[in-house]
Structures are given as C-alpha cells and as structure tokens.
Structure 1
C-alpha cells in the first residue's frame, strides 16, 4: 500500500499536507489522532469508514475549518496559521454534507457568485465565472431558481459550482451522495469526474463504496479517528482483514467475485471491470471448447 505519510509523489510536493497529532472537540470527544494525510495534484481520494471514524473531522481540517490541537496544516507549501486561513479557504473549497448550510442567496446564480463578491471580484467577472461554473456542472438551467426549492442532487451541483467558481486547487466533499437516489448519485459522480479532468484534485468521504471504486484513484480507510489503510482501490478492497477492522464491506463487484470463488489476479473493483473479466473468461472457455470439438472431427 501507499505510505500515507509520504509527502512527495513523483518528486512533487503535495497541494495539502496535514499532520494532526490530536484534535479533541469541546465536549472531550477525540475526533482524530496521529493522522498524517496529503493531497496531491491530479488525484481523487475517497475516505471510507464507519460512522464516527473521523472522516468529517479530517475533511474539515483540510481548509482550516478545524485546526489540530497539536500538528500543522500546509496548503501549497504554506503553513496555515490564524492569520492566513484565507489562503487555505481559497485553495481548498469545501462542500458540506448539508447543502442548505451553504445556501445564502435568493437565486442559484446569486448564490454561486456570493464567494466571488466576498473576494472582491468585479460584478461582471463574477457573473461570467458563475455562468461558466454552472455550465461545467450541467446546471445552467437552474440559474434563476430559488436554491431552497431544488432537489438534493441539484443542491449538490450548485454547491459544487459555488466552490468551483473560486478556482481552488482541491475540492473537498463531505458525503456528497448521502440521501440521493441512484440516478442522482450517478449524476453527482459524473460531475466529480469532470471536475477532476479539469485539473482539480478531489477529496470526498462516502459510505457508497461502489462509487468510491469507480471514481477514486486512492482509498483511505479510517477507524477510531485514525487512518488505518491507504492505497489503490484494488489494494484496499481486496484486503479482508483491513475491511473487517474498519467494519465495512467491499464494493459489489468484489463481493460477487469472492462469493463466486473466482480466481482473479486483475482484482476487479467495479461492475464494468468484473463484466470485462467474465467476458474474457467466457471467450477463453468457448475457444477451448471449439478447439476440442475441431480435434474430435479430425479423428
């Protein structure tokens, strides 16, 4: 597995590097301890784990919404302290699980422009960038709508546009698929993939491991406020001991492969990968059968 404490990938420094020896909430609850986590350019990272494992706490440290009791956060190489938290907020955009907490304006277009106004962007440029961000989300048709009346999936797209418009290096999403039906989950996942193709790194937490397997380059497993596993989807989702320790189940494709007793070196983690493997196996089997049949006719 990848060493989660390794700050450099291919000789490049991380966009975000968090070292948190501890974070304790005011009521005494320990949210996180001994965590070292980095986000690099051009990657999608999924945090997975049970409820209370520390996923949301970790995410909120990445843009200094929360700060370590002991440790430090660096964003694009700059150490974040009270005086420069603005830098973290500009470089690391955050989309909260409850989309309503980020709705502040009477129309969708106004809402997407809100952050730009706060940073002093001229009105004409702010409107132009807001139009572009909504178009990227395939949400231009929502511009004049009242945000509070949107569906859950539509609110997530608007929230993503409101963050994307600020042109961050990293976008962080806390449970972006929570409460969405399968079709809207796929829509949001598609938009996340599109954001990544535009050169923005993405970090998300999710209980939907099927989607995590489809869109993530790297999986981090959390339990009891710490990262207990870090690696590719194949490395993580075929590690039974690790998944048992985190009390989570692998994606559907992995469960089917195991239940069927398939000997799969390629380790498919998505439905498409499993179907491709079965298709190859079927073609190989048919080929062997035909060879035997041809041999019999020549006897």
Structure 2
C-alpha cells in the first residue's frame, strides 16, 4: 500500500472493493494494528497507535478474519466467545452473561455448546462476529465475510451486519461481491494498486464507468439492467429492491397515463 488516506466515521458501513491484490486485506489488517505502518500513522478514537499500545486498537476495532478457523481457539462456542473477555481481565462474574448476549445478538445462542471446528462456514462467521462484539468495539472489520457461503448463509451475514450497524457500531468490510456492497454500504471505497482510487455513495461509485474500468470491476446487475431499460440518468438504482421499486413506479405511471388517454 502507498499514500492511503482512509477514515471510518461513527455509524457507517464502508465497503472496500477491488480486484485481487488491490490491497483490501492489507488495509483492513492495519485498522486494528495487526499490521502497523512503516510510514504514516493509525489513529483510533483519537489515540495514535504504536507497537506499544496495539491493544487499544484491537479492543476498539474488532476483526473477523476471512478464514474463521484462524480465530476459533476454544473447545466450545461459548468458551471461544469468553476467551476475549478473559484475555482482557474482565471479572468472571460478568463474562458468561456478556458472552451469551453477544451470541444472541448474532442469533447463535443455539450453538453455545457446539465444537467450533465442526460448524458450517456461516456458523463460524457468526461465532467469530460474536467473539468480536463481546468486547464492545467501536468498529467491526470483516474481511470477505461472504467468501465460500451459500446464498442463504450470505443473507444471514448481511442481515447481522445491518443489525449491528443499527445498534450504532461502524462496520468496514472488503468484498468482491458488488451486489452485496450495494445492499449494505453507506460508502464504497475502490482500491487498485495498493491505493484508494475513488470513494462515495454506492450510486456515485457504481455509475462511474471510468473508475470501475480502471479497477477492473463491473457494476452491480441493477445498474446494468437500469441502463439497458433506459432508466438512467434520471434514476440510479444500485440494488435489486431499488430496481423493482423503480420499475413498479414506472409501470404504474404508464398505466395511469393510458387510463387518462382512454377517458379522453
């Protein structure tokens, strides 16, 4: 990475998109001081982070890795969620309740006695997310949260991301799935060649052909269909729901105009 200027603001979902090798995972690993920059600085909640105070970043910025197995370390799911609390010296009297609340938040209470490594990919992601949420971070970072998941489990993860965002936690995620980014993100940052080459709302980014072409990306299906149907530039749908709403309104308007003409 080079010359990257990136900030996360309260109560927003930011999606990092870009091709393989663009630098998405490397940037994410700097956000909780898994990596510390050789030049420049990382500031978390107003505190500059160095080799000596990485724990500050790791408590404020929870990281859910793409390979969930790398962060599942305990014999049961409940023990795994408890691990972070015990690591930070939280009194035992508080840990069980907080761990169970975190599992309930991601709808995974039924998994608490299961062995983590026998879970499905989607279940492991939920447990990893609970293990992060239990520390009450300001920001949750997810590296390719949908990788390897089927559509049902992908929607489950998307729903949980929306849920924790609604609870006031900022979310940063990397993804190759622009449909997913359009659905959940308030802001999209495009990465290429180790830098952020463009950012803005999903509408701004996904209708910028030059930006997407330079990053070797294709716009979401809703954008392509809207253009083929001649619905742009007056409207800029980026999700399937946006597109359906727009097409429904257009059809109703045409029907209304025909009714008026028939009466004449």
Query: Shorter-chain TM-score: which interval?
Result: over 0.9
What is the CA-CA distance between 1:251 and the residue it aligns to? 1.0
Structure 2 distance, partners of 1:194, 1:85, is 28
127, 143, 168: which is aligned to 2:112? 143
What is the CA-CA distance between 1:264 and the residue it aligns to? 4.3
Paired residue secondary structure (1:158): helix
1:87 is aligned to: 56
What is the CA-CA distance between 1:211 and the residue it aligns to? 1.1
Alpha-carbon displacement from aligned partner over 1:111-156 (angstroms, at most 9, x marks no partner): 0010000001112211110000000000000000000000000000
1:260 is aligned to: 229
Structure 2 distance, partners of 1:210, 1:126, is 38
1:156 is aligned to: 125
Paired residue secondary structure (1:71): coil
1:239 is aligned to: 208
2:98 is aligned to: 129
240, 243, 249: which is aligned to 2:218? 249
1:78 is aligned to: 47
Structure 2 distance, partners of 1:259, 1:34, is 38
Could you list the runs of 5+ residues in structure 1 that have no partner in the other structure? 1-31
TM-score (norm 1): 0.87
What is the CA-CA distance between 1:252 and the residue it aligns to? 1.2
Paired residue secondary structure (1:145): coil
Contact 2:4 2:196 survives alignment (8 Å): yes
Bigger strand share: 1
TM-score (norm 2): 0.99
Contact 2:65 2:71 survives alignment (8 Å): yes
Structure 2 distance, partners of 1:42, 1:129, is 22
What are the within-5 Å matches in structure 2 for residues 88-237 of structure 1?
88-237=57-206
2:31 is aligned to: 62
Bigger helix share: 2
Q: Which protein has greater RCO, CA pairs closer than 8 Å, 6+ apart?
A: 2
Alpha-carbon displacement from aligned partner over 1:157-202 (angstroms, at most 9, x marks no partner): 0000000000000000000000001110000000011011111000
Could you list the runs of 5+ residues in structure 2 that have no partner in the other structure? none
2:241 is aligned to: 272
Q: Which has the larger radius of gyration?
A: 1
Question: Which runs of 4 or more aligned residues in structure 1 lie more than 3 Å from their structure 2 counterparts after TM superposition?
Answer: none
**How many matched pairs?**
264
